[in-house]
A and B are shown apart, each in its own frame.
Chain A
Amino acid sequence: GENVEQHPSTLSVQEGDSAVIKCTYSDSASNYFPWYKQELGKGPQLIIDIRSNVGEKKDQRIAVTLNKTAKHFSLHITETQPEDSAVYFCAASQGDMRFGAGTRLTVKP
């Protein structure tokens, strides 16, 4: 089955800096790669997703890149703000969605 590795487990940045979270997956058949943000006391919420026919996708300060050959994908957050502080999960799916272990991002004002 699919195995998703996510790094780093914790990330602390200064407000205004960029943050990058990286994930690798094992199943070359995976074709859907969403990213979820979980705030304290809430469930994960989808923030951006990318499909295997696209190499990059951007939505305002958030971007995701996908390298299918290397089987890795990354989340990039630019101009970070304190409200970006949360736990971020990557996932990969070829029919069954599998999640990474999460990255706790802290943005210091």
Chain B
Amino acid sequence: EAGVTQFPSHSVIEKGQTVTLRCDPISGHDNLYWYRRVMGKEIKFLLHFVKESKQDESGMPNNRFLAERTGGTYSTLKVQPAELEDSGVYFCASSVGDGGNSPLHFGNGTRLTVT
């Protein structure tokens, strides 16, 4: 089966610009997660979709971040306007069951650099 795919793999933007990250989960996985890792820190939870609904968005840093999963398939994460502290690697993961008790399948991540 195809794994979780993320696009782009790298993005370099200037402060104040907008960036949209995309994630295609494994087909049939209802649960989709976004995480972020800043260099040397933990992989930090951002939000969790079950199908097209936001199950938990408690990790979203602020209202500059908007995640969508229309139709319950792929998901996008938009950052607008981007700030320097948004730099990091953004990971998407999917799971069959609730990822709280099921293995997560991660994509290769999008490395975002805001200059």
Q: What separation, in Å, do the CA atoms of A89 and B43 have in the docked complex? A: 8
Chain B residues with CB under 8 Å of A36's CB are 104, 106
Given contacts A41-B108, A44-B91, A99 and B103 within 8 Å (CB-CB): no
Question: Does A32 lie within 8 Å of B101, measured CB to CB?
Answer: yes
Per the CB 8 Å criterion, the residue count for chain A at the interface is 26
Chain B residues with CB under 8 Å of A101's CB are 40-42
Asked if A98 is at the interface of the complex by the 8 Å CB criterion, the answer is: yes
Mark each residue of chain B from 99 to 112: 1 if its CB lies under 8 Å from any CB of chain A, else 0: 11101111111000
Q: What separation, in Å, do the CA atoms of A79 and B56 have in the docked complex? A: 41
Asked if B45 is at the interface of the complex by the 8 Å CB criterion, the answer is: yes
Chain B residues with CB under 8 Å of A6's CB are 42
Chain A residues with CB under 8 Å of B68's CB are none
Chain A residues with CB under 8 Å of B106's CB are 36, 43-45
A31 to chain B, nearest CB (A): 7
Interface of A toward B, CB cutoff 8 Å: 4, 6, 9, 31-32, 34, 36, 41-46, 49, 89, 91, 93-102
4 closest A-B pairs by CB: A43-B106, A95-B100, A99-B43, A101-B42
